[in-house]
Amino acid sequence: MAMRRWLDKNQPMPIKLLIVDDSDLIRNSLTALLLGILGAQNIRCAATLNQGLESVRANWPTLVVLDLHLADGNAIPRITQMKTLSPGIQIAVLTNDAGEFNRIRCMTAGADWFFDKSTEFEILLDVVRAQAAPA
């Protein structure tokens, strides 16, 4: 019966999330908000690009929320690396540096979404809800 329930199309698909951001406040706030989304209970965090890349290698997340500028560099080259390491991974860039130039560069590198931290935070949550929602 448990397996039957797991395969029920009305049940959310469990997703594995990775938050890569150097701000404790952003990581903690985003984790708290995402834990409220059914199907999004498996959440890991990283404070640097290197930690994020290592987590992608080890844990194969479904969705990465990635800050653009971190202490150990710019995330754009890592988008391509993450996509290569984990085929099927989805990446949502969440940044305060949300100009059109960066949006184009991130999307060209393989990002699936690009959000402005100050104005599009809720839209990111909607994306996670949609990824965890029944098909």
The mean pLDDT value of the chain amounts to: 89
pLDDT in tens, 28-54: 999 999 998 888 878 999 999 999 999
What topology is assigned to 22-132 in CATH? Rossmann fold (3.40.50)
Model's pTM, two decimal places? 0.88
Q: Which helix (H) or strand (E) holds 91?
A: strand 90-95
Tell me what percent of the chain is helix, strand and coil, each rounded to the nearest 5: 45, 20, 35
pLDDT in tens, 99-124: 999 999 999 999 999 999 999 989 99
